[in-house]
């Protein structure tokens, strides 16, 4: 099922129209403690939202757990949700991932709509039909492919977004630039992130989402080209899991940015990604993302975390690499020695 992605002109008016004509018997709305306070008031003039049953969960990725999932199932069950009910997920990637998985599994699947409120969710988590929770210390270890009925993108929500969450989402946009074309990559590096033009950002978000949509439509279950979206994620997820294990959690997009540093270097040594474009991208990341500090004693642990990545076959670590911007090489492998060389490069160029 192809999900509809709507770049809103007027979210309240457009969503009100859709809900008014909906055939669902009950509407539930899932928020976290932040979006309940900051974002829900923007929708409360919609009559169907006023009548909706609210489910509120704790914010942040540390709560993307089986316990929170069970809490949502429990709420749906006790409040009378049926197979003909609708769940609205209003929040960042944690809410859309977990809410989507709750909808995909409750009574073997109910309809859901994503209304992402962070840049990361708009350009990544809420689009593409991947749902899931963290489990056993690993990111998105349990989940399902289950596309939303629709995804509503309202960039006005981003005015309340803090600096770090903005850049967390921007890392995924940078990834989309790298896997699409030089023009989009260059405009992302040029965009004034200090004084944000929200109209220009809306256009960039639209372009970024189209990159992901095009790939997902071609390969919904990640058997081939959808693996392009994993650029930066094999090592990025390992950084993210290590950070969580050491009780110094980092935002997903920051881990991806640091993963891009590593995987562009791996692309350079394995398939010849141009050094100048690698340096330009790394410079942008250094200026805006700081550094996740590691020493060589962490290499073994990071390697073990990479072995657990869902994209692997047997004991081979799988990477998506680039010959050049938009020239994608999926199913690339690297041995332990090469991965340690990449981590050396990361520490040297990032200054940790």
Say yes or no: 52 and 194 in one domain: no
Residues 168 and 311 in one domain: yes
Q: How far apart are CA 260 and CA 179, in angstroms?
A: 12
Do residues 17 and 135 share a domain? yes
Mean per-residue pLDDT over the chain, rounded: 94
> DSSP letters of 292-330?
----GGGHHHHHHHHHT-TT-BTTB-EEEEEEETTEEEE
Kindly give, in sequence order, each residue whose CB lies less than 8 Å from that of residue 309, ignoring residues fewer than 6 positions away: 234, 237, 238, 317, 318
CATH, residue 45 = 3.40.50.1970
Task: Say if residue 290's pLDDT is above 70.
Answer: yes
Domain shared by 83 and 116, yes or no: yes
**Closest by CA position to 166, among listed 98, 208, 119:** 119
Output phi, psi for 329, to 5 deg. -120, 105
Residues 18 and 128 reside in one and the same domain: yes
Question: Of 160, 179, 200, which marks where a domain is finished?
Answer: 160
Q: How many domains does the chain have?
A: 2
Report pLDDT digits (tens) over 38-86: 999 999 999 999 999 999 999 988 899 999 999 999 999 999 999 999 9
- In this prediction, residues 205-215 reach a mean pLDDT of 93
Pairing of strands 138-145, 130-135: antiparallel
In the predicted structure, residue 1 carries a pLDDT above the cut 90: no
Q: Are residues 132 and 17 in the same domain?
A: yes
Q: Whole-model pTM above 0.85?
A: yes
Are 43 and 11 spatial neighbours (Cβ–Cβ below 8 Å)?
Answer: yes
In contact, 150 and 4? CB cutoff 8 Å: yes
% of the chain beyond a pLDDT of 90: 87
Distance CA 150, CA 2 (A): 9
Distances (CA, A) of 229 to 136, 208, 225: 24, 12, 8
24 and 96 part of one domain: yes
Same domain membership, residue 144 and residue 66: yes
For residues 150 and 18, state if they share a domain.
yes
Tens of pLDDT along 322-331? Answer: 999 999 999 9
Q: Are strands 27-32 and 86-91 parallel, antiparallel or unpaired?
A: parallel
Last residue of a domain, one of 160, 187, 218: 160
Asked if 169 and 143 sit in the same domain, the reply is no
**CATH number, residue 344:** 1.20.1090.10
34, two tokens:
């932040």
d(CA 135, CA 144): 14
Which string of DSSP letters, residue by residue, matches 192-250? -SSS--HHHHHHHHHHHHHHHHHHHHH-TTSSSGGGGGGTTHHHHHHHHHHHHHTT---
Q: Among residues 138, 160, 182, which one ends one of the domains?
A: 160
Q: How far apart are alpha carbons 129 and 101 in whole angstroms?
A: 10
Determine the average pLDDT of the residues in 182-186: 97
Is the pLDDT confidence value at 313 over 70? no
Q: How confident is the model at residue 240 (pLDDT cuts 50, 70, 90)?
A: very high
pLDDT digits (tens, 9 = 90+) for 292-307: 999 999 999 999 999 9
- With the C-alpha atoms ordered 309, 274, 258, 130, is the resulting torsion angle positive or negative? negative
Residues 107 and 241 in one domain: no
Please report which confidence band the pLDDT of residue 36 belongs to, taking 50, 70 and 90 as the band edges: very high
For range 247-259, the mean pLDDT: 95
Per-residue pLDDT band for 2 (boundaries 50, 70, 90) equals low
Query: Is residue 169 domain-shared with residue 136, that is, in the same domain?
Result: no
Residue 201's domain spans which residues?
A: 163-350
The CB density around residue 217, as the number of other CB atoms within 10 Å, is 12
């Amino acid at each position: 099922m192809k999900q509809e992605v709507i770049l809103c002109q007027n979210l309240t008016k457009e969503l009100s129209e859709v809900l008014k004509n909906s055939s669902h018997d009950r509407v539930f709305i899932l928020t976290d403690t932040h979006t309940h306070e900051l974002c829900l008031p923007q929708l409360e003039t919609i009559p169907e939202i006023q009548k909706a049953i609210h489910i509120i969960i704790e914010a942040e990725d540390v709560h993307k757990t089986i316990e929170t999932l069970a809490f949502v199932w429990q709420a749906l069950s006790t409040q009378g949700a049926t197979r003909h009910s609708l769940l609205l997920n209003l929040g960042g990637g944690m809410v859309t991932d977990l809410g989507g998985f709750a909808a995909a599994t409750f009574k073997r699947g109910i309809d859901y709509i994503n209304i992402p409120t962070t840049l990361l969710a708009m350009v990544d988590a809420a689009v593409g039909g991947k749902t899931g929770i963290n489990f056993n210390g690993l990111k998105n270890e349990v989940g399902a492919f289950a596309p939303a009925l629709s995804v509503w993108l309202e960039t006005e929500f981003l005015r309340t977004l803090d600096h770090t969450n903005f850049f967390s989402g921007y890392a995924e946009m940078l990834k989309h630039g790298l896997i699409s074309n030089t023009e989009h990559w260059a405009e992302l590096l040029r965009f004034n992130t200090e004084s944000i033009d929200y109209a220009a950002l809306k256009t960039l978000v639209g372009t970024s989402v189209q990159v992901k949509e095009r790939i997902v439509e071609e390969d919904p279950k990640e058997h081939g080209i959808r693996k392009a979206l994993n650029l930066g994620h094999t090592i990025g997820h390992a950084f993210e899991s290590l950070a969580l294990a050491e009780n110094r959690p980092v935002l997903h997009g920051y881990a991806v940015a640091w993963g891009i540093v590593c995987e562009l270097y791996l692309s350079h040594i394995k398939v010849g990604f141009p050094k100048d474009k690698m340096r330009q991208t790394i410079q942008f990341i250094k200026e805006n993302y700081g550094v996740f500090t590691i020493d060589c004693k962490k290499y073994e642990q990071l390697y073990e975390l990479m072995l657990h990545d869902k994209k692997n076959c047997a004991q081979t670590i799988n990477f998506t690499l680039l010959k050049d911007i938009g020239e994608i090489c999926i199913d690339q492998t690297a041995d332990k020695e090469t991965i340690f060389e990449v981590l050396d490069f990361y520490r040297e160029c990032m200054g940790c």
